[in-house]
Chains A and B, each alone.
Chain A
Amino acid sequence: MQNHYAPPRAAVADVSKAGRGITDTMLVQLRATRPWVLLVAVVLIIFAVFMLLGTAGIILAGVAMSMGGEAAGAPMAIFLVIGAIYGVGAITYMLMGIYLAKYSSAISTAVMTGHAQDMTQALEQQRKFWKVAGIVTLIMLLITVVWMGVLIAMPEMMAGFNQMQ
């Protein structure tokens, strides 16, 4: 039975989705972020696949050369080291790409449902991405500093080595 004394209701579209700490502006911003995040994620995953192929190629070349007797000892080790660096790079790109793809997917869910839980899930995925990106940046910084130190110290070490001979 219809209640004639019920208060009037406003059919405001954004009230139904947003709520419990989520505003319509947040959902609009997330919706606009999604395609760019997805694009970068896909590019990162493609890079990772290419780097994995490169890793396999470098390691196979090293093994083939060592079996042919052309490269033994140090050259084989160089191939393995380069292959390992490529492999680590590939895993890093893949992880970052996966987290971004998950972020993009979580944004879709959050925009569709408007639930605080889904929004939290999306923010959690982007936190994981930034964490990996930050750790990789710190490692790269450390390697750069060590490499610069080696480049500065190398001439003096070589000069000392030559004097000893």
Chain B
Amino acid sequence: MQNHYAPPGATVADVNRASGSVSQDMVEAMRGTKPWVLLIGVLLFVFAVLMIIATVAIFAGGAFALAASGMEGAPMMAIAIFYGLFALIYFFLGLYLLKYNAAIGRLVKGGQASDMEDALTAQRKFWRLSGVITLIFIVLFVVGILAAILIPLLTMGGQF
């Protein structure tokens, strides 16, 4: 039964999940992006797989050296952990780009706003991860430079 006393409701498409279509110009811009994103996404995945293989090999070598001669295997284990971290980073960067590529594919086929939203979400995640990694590297770079300046100075100071 219809409620005649209900407040008026607005059918606002953009409050909920989008159901409209996006302009042809936007779809064309995204279509031009797709092949390059796919190429870099696939390459990142290949790099991730190669680095995982290297991680396993270095880890096995380190474990073997650790068992055979004690602490000499420790640096190899540290390198393996570093490689593993990079493999994870490459994997997630590749994953976000492939999700971006898949959403663009759906957008090009259907032209739906919801696919554009998915594409922009995947793209945001890619850029956020890239930005965080960039920030970490900047911090490591600054710490490295400071260490390169301060450690010799402190060592020389200790000699006096």
Contacts and interface: CB of A to CB of B under 8 A. Distances in A.
A21 B20 contact: yes
B35 interface: yes
Interface in B7-37: 8, 10, 12-15, 17-18, 20-23, 25-26, 29-30, 32-33, 35-37
Interface in A17-33: 18-26, 29-30, 32-33
Nearest to B138: A43
A3 to B, nearest CB: 16
B135 interface: yes
Which 10 pairs from chain A and chain B are nearest by CB?
A: A36-B131, A134-B36, A123-B29, A29-B120, A21-B22, A130-B36, A36-B127, A23-B18, A23-B14, A120-B25
A8 B131 CA distance: 45
B37 A130 contact: yes
B127 A33 contact: yes
Contact of A33 (B113, B123, B132): B123
Contacts of B33: 123, 126-127, 130-131
Interface in A104-124: 116-117, 119-120, 123-124
Interface size class on chain B is 35 or more
A135 B123 CA distance: 20
Contact of A25 (B8, B10, B36, B117): B117
A137 B43 contact: yes
A39 interface: yes
Given A21-B26, A23-B18, A133-B40, A36 B120 contact: no
B138 to A, nearest CB: 7
Contacts of A119: 26
Given A26-B113, A33-B127, 14 more contacts: A8-B8, A25-B14, A33-B128, A36-B132, A37-B127, A119-B26, A120-B25, A123-B29, A123-B30, A124-B29, A130-B33, A130-B37, A131-B33, A134-B40
A30 B120 contact: yes
B124 interface: yes
Nearest to B35: A134
